Each structure stands twice: as structure tokens, then as C-alpha cells.
């Protein structure tokens, strides 16, 4: 199995640096790189990582979504995992929904991967597993669940659930 990881920023990639009494963050290098390096000896697939944005998802524009769409469309990989901020990942999934010839899994995390209590590693592992078993389509892997992109929503507490 071959996978391409397309990284777009979001909380998962946030790095906090600031002076005393302030909370200053920036989007750092893709967390996917460090997570996959951490488990390199146990990975049994070929992968490529491409960083195309470093934005908080609230700052992702329609032009940015077009960039993500184009990256997926021209990718030679049939299985793509996108790391994305959770606030607007459903909007990006909507843009990608016309790509029916690939498996596309979008995931993120509510806490930066650098945080001790982050679920980033879990969500990435879940996305990888989903990419191995799903048929072509666009899916969201969050909170230990996998959804068709248009069958979930984000609650006010940040948890993704199935639409009623």
C-alpha cells in the first residue's frame, strides 16, 4: 500500500512560543513527519509527505481549497490522507467530494501534536487504518470514528458526531 499525506496546517501543527503571560502560536512543521518518524520501524507501507499550507483552518480560503483539490487530483497516489484544522475540514471535504477515483481521509486534532495529551497520533493511526480498508470516496476520521464526509458534524465541544 502506498499513501500520500497532504498537510495543510491546523491545530495539529501548532507550535506555541511566547513570552510570559502571552499565548502566541504559529503553524510549525507538519506533525505527520514527526509522528511517522517516531514509529518508522513499525511502518509497513510506502508514503510521501507533501506540505501545501500552514494555516489555521479558520483562515483557509476557497483558493486554498482549490489548491488542496488540485494536489489531490494530480496525485499519483490512490490513497491520500490530509491533515487539516478541525473547524473547516468539512468545508474542504465538500470541495474534494467530486474526486471519486481515490480514497481521501481527512483528519486533525483538537490539541497540537506537541501537547502531551494530544490525540494527534491516535487520529493519524486511525486515518491510516481507514485508508487501507475504504473504497474510493472522501471520509473524515475523528474521535475514533470514520464518517462519509457529508454524514458528520462538529459539536460545540469539538467532538465529531454522525448527523441526526
Return d(Cα 149, Cα 94) in angstroms, integer.
7
Domains of the chain: total: 1
pLDDT in the model for residue 20: 61
Q: What is the pLDDT along the chain (164 residues), one digit of tens a residue?
A: 799 999 999 999 998 776 666 667 889 999 999 999 999 989 999 999 999 999 999 999 999 999 999 999 999 999 999 999 999 999 999 999 999 999 999 999 999 999 999 999 999 999 999 999 999 999 999 999 999 999 999 999 999 999 98
Return d(Cα 6, Cα 107) in angstroms, integer.
11
Return d(Cα 46, Cα 67) in angstroms, integer.
24
Half-sphere exposure of 138 (CA within 13 A, CB side): 21
Scanning the chain, the segments in alpha helix (DSSP H) are 31-38, 62-74, 89-96, 120-133
- pTM higher than 0.85 for the full model? yes
Q: What is the largest CA-CA distance in the chain?
A: 50
Alpha-carbon separation of residue 9 from 1, 61, 136, 140 (angstroms): 25, 13, 24, 16
Give Cβ neighbours of residue 72 (< 8 Å, ≥ 6 apart): 6, 80, 82, 96, 99, 102, 104
In 3D space, the residue among 111, 122, 162 whose CA is nearest the CA of residue 140 turns out to be 162
At 23, list the grid cell.
499565548
CATH of the domain at 118: 3.40.50.1170
The boundaries of the domain holding residue 94 are 2-162
In 3D space, the residue among 65, 37, 36, 56 whose CA is nearest the CA of residue 128 turns out to be 36
Amino acid at each position: 500500500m502506498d499513501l500520500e499525506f497532504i498537510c495543510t496546517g491546523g491545530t495539529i501543527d501548532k507550535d506555541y512560543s511566547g513570552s510570559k503571560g502571552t499565548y502566541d502560536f504559529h503553524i510549525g512543521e507538519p506533525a505527520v513527519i514527526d509522528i511517522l518518524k517516531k514509529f518508522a520501524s513499525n511502518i509497513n507501507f510506502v508514503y510521501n509527505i507533501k506540505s501545501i499550507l500552514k494555516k489555521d483552518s479558520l483562515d483557509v480560503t476557497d483558493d486554498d481549497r482549490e489548491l488542496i483539490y488540485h494536489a489531490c487530483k494530480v496525485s499519483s497516489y490512490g490513497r491520500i490522507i490530509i491533515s487539516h484544522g478541525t473547524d473547516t475540514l468539512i468545508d474542504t471535504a465538500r470541495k474534494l467530494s467530486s474526486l471519486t477515483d481515490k480514497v481521501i481521509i481527512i483528519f486533525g486534532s483538537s490539541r497540537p501534536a506537541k501537547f502531551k495529551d494530544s490525540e494527534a497520533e491516535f487520529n493519524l493511526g486511525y486515518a491510516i487504518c481507514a485508508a487501507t480498508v475504504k473504497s474510493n470516496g472522501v471520509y473524515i476520521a475523528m474521535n475514533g470514528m470514520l464518517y462519509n464526509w457529508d454524514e458528520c458534524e462538529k459539536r460545540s465541544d469539538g467532538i465529531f458526531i454522525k448527523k441526526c
